Structure 1
Amino acid sequence: RNRRGGTICTTAFQLDFTFSWMQDKRKIWLEMLLDKLNGKKLPYISADFQPVMLLQRKRKSGGNVLGIFNLGFDPMDTVSIRCAGKPARAEILQAGGRWKVLPFKWEKGIMELPVRLECYEPAVIRIKSR
């Protein structure tokens, strides 16, 4: 920890070939490193092995809003999210601005949502915790 209470971590990787930083093993290693630096599991991490950006914001009223973006060249038929705890409810923001309840599968800390994302398509998901 530095004098301001932050943590500094450096790591390296080879750029000899395209996408060397997006390997499955490196993703798992990075997740373990981030959990360790955080002192506990991060609340939400993409569990998909394809380039996905996940942004998380806590709501003042409780729960979380996730922005999920498929950055890959292939569509995704489902979205998988590793959660620190089992959610009580998941909803997706529809084009008209209304929330729609989403069924989800829960197995070994992974929430699988029936959300199809085309290349570079976003989804906004609201998660309510137990």
Structure 2
Amino acid sequence: MSKEVVRNFYKADILGDPTVLKTYFHPEISLIWNSNDGLTIMNYQDLEGFFGEIRNTYDDLRIEVSHLLQDDNFVTIRYKYYVSTLENPEEELGIAHFIAIWEIKDGQMYRGYQVSQPVTELDDTTESYHKVKV
């Protein structure tokens, strides 16, 4: 069941479905995110604001998953986000690579540990990223 929760969240329509957070995120969620900007710790309210900004910024959001693994109530996912902006909806851009480990509690994503890295020009020259069907 844990793997399905994570799979379904990453397949969900984050831009078009305002119930995504309530459906998949535990009310006491904590996301610890290491990125180029440093360490960010987000709770439910922080994630509401974050997803609101995404909805206001992007015309389309697509995910490409390479790994989805489960160990008990922990699920690890590796993926890449692609976006189209409101200003240029015809052009899709890869924006970042992510790996996240999610702890599932009460059928929802409860604790997340995520690392991200921006896409670089080297991404266009490598075929090493393998897609898996989620």
More strand by share: 2
Higher Cα Rg: structure 1 or 2?
1
TM-score band, normalised by shorter chain: under 0.3
State the TM-score, normalizing by the size of structure 1. 0.27
Does 1 or 2 have the higher relative contact order (CA < 8 Å, sep 6+)?
Answer: 2
